[in-house]
Amino acid sequence: MANRWRGDVALVVDGEPCIARLTLGALAELEAGLGETSLVGLVERFESSRFTSRDVVALLGAGLRGGGREITDEALARAQVKGGPMAAAKAAAELLARAFVVPE
């Protein structure tokens, strides 16, 4: 079960329920993998709807690995996310938001 206080986001990948979580290691991986000098740039891209499919895959991949699932970005890009690309983008944005916002 997803724990909002820990920053968890639940999603289904290839029919398997998963928990994604942006740990410190996952955040560092994102900075390096996306070539951002800070995560603020990535947050700004999502807030202004300027994110790319690569951003979504990188965020979900890092989050899934942070949640304990062993999956590469390449494998994730070929996987089926329940709800399709829009659900994947929503989950990625939620992951990013939960990493920096305390739930109410």
Per residue in 36-87, pLDDT (tens digit) is 777 777 778 778 888 889 989 999 999 999 999 999 999 999 999 999 999 9
Predicted TM-score (pTM) of the model is 0.88
Q: What is the average pLDDT across 10-36?
A: 89
Stronger pLDDT, 5 or 94, i.e. the higher one: 94
Q: Is the pLDDT of residue 91 over 90?
A: yes
Q: Are strands 16-20 and 9-13 parallel, antiparallel or unpaired?
A: antiparallel
pLDDT 10s digits, 53-64: 998 999 999 999
Position 103 pLDDT exceeds 70: no
- The neighbouring-strand residues paired with 17 are 12
**Domains of the chain, residue spans:** 4-99
CB contact at 8 A, 62 and 11: no
- Residue 8 three-state SS: coil
- The mean predicted confidence, pLDDT, of the chain is 88
**Cβ-based neighbour number of residue 10 at 10 Å:** 15
